[in-house]
Amino acid sequence: MFNEKELLKKLTIADLERANAYAKDLGHGLQIVRSFPQGVTIFGSARLPQDDKYCQLAYKLGGLLAKNGHAVITGGGPGIMEAASHGAYEIGGRTIGLNITLKHEQFPNPYLTDCLTFEYFFARKVMLAMAAKVFVFFPGGFGTLDELSEILCLMQESKMPKMPVFLIGKSFWRNFEKFVDKMTGMKLVSTNDIKIFKITDDVTEVVKAANKIGHPKISENFYDGFREASKLS
């Protein structure tokens, strides 16, 4: 069994500085997440131009969500994130951008009502999850796949509340679906696991799911009750 006091003695100054930096990133994230009701977190590529069909769908979805009173949460950058933010911003909705410092691609788009920039991917991903009552994944690259697989894994293992997960773009996600079917056939994932997400071209399904959940109060983050329930189990 590990002795916590003995382990602390082995930490270097660099270890402590790193731990403080992590805590600072998480703390700042929690401050902004606690300032609005959970909304709809939208993921997708930063590289797609605004006239791309998927950006146009993201723009439409952002507007529909804002019309129905749902906050739109994105990574705060260009591409899909900008399109969704733009759609919500034009309706007068709340658009939260959880940005990150990168060497390329990532800069805050001009359609954010709230913006916070993170240093660490893991802290940013925690907040993108905690801010959401519905998750939406548009086409994207490694970053989008990383975020999708982590959300699916956490729900699969009951490490976070199960919430609606939509993958927008049947033609794009078709091969992903085939890959998941292959894993299911090899019993690497269960048939229940593939029910966690839904692939669709219809963004109104996202709005219907958000409307069904409703508008929780700022003080009623789903993760709080989930944490307490997990303790009891």
Contact between 71 and 166 under an 8 Å Cβ cutoff? The reply is no
Q: Is the dihedral of CA 171, 213, 95, 77 positive or negative?
A: negative
Q: Give the pLDDT band (50/70/90) at residue 2.
A: low
Residue 191, pLDDT above cutoff 60 = yes
Residue 3: its pLDDT value, please?
Answer: 65
Residue 207, pLDDT above cutoff 60 = yes
pLDDT tens, position by position, 53-82: 999 999 999 999 999 999 999 999 999 999
d(Cα 58, Cα 52) in Å, to the nearest integer? Answer: 10
- For 30, what's the count of Cα atoms within 13 Å in the CB-facing half-sphere? 9
Strand 95-100 vs strand 114-118: parallel, antiparallel, or unpaired?
A: parallel
**Rounded to two decimals, what is the model's pTM?**
0.91
pLDDT tens, position by position, 114-165: 998 898 889 999 999 999 999 999 999 999 999 999 999 999 998 999 999 9
Nearest to 223 by CA among 156, 212, 231: 231
Residue 86: its pLDDT value, please?
Answer: 98
Q: In the numeric block, which tokens belong to residue 138?
A: 């548009």
Residue 227: its pLDDT value, please?
Answer: 60
Residue 103: its pLDDT value, please?
Answer: 64
C-alpha of 180 from chain center: 21
| Maximum pairwise Cα distance, the chain | 58
Which amino acid is located at 230 in the chain?
Answer: S
d(Cα 225, Cα 229) in Å, to the nearest integer? Answer: 6
Residue 104, pLDDT above cutoff 70 = no
Strand 95-100 vs strand 165-168: parallel, antiparallel, or unpaired?
A: unpaired
Residue 222: its pLDDT value, please?
Answer: 86
Could you tell me the CA-to-CA distances from 109 to 30, 153, 211 in Å, in that order? Answer: 21, 30, 27
Q: Where are the alpha helices (DSSP H) in 74-218?
A: 80-91, 121-130, 142-156, 170-185, 204-213
Nearest to 44 by CA among 109, 145, 139: 139
Q: What domains are defined for the chain?
A: 39-213+222-232 (3.40.50.450)
Residue 223, pLDDT above cutoff 60 = yes
pLDDT tens, position by position, 16-56: 888 899 999 999 888 888 888 999 999 999 999 999 999 99
Residue 186: its pLDDT value, please?
Answer: 96
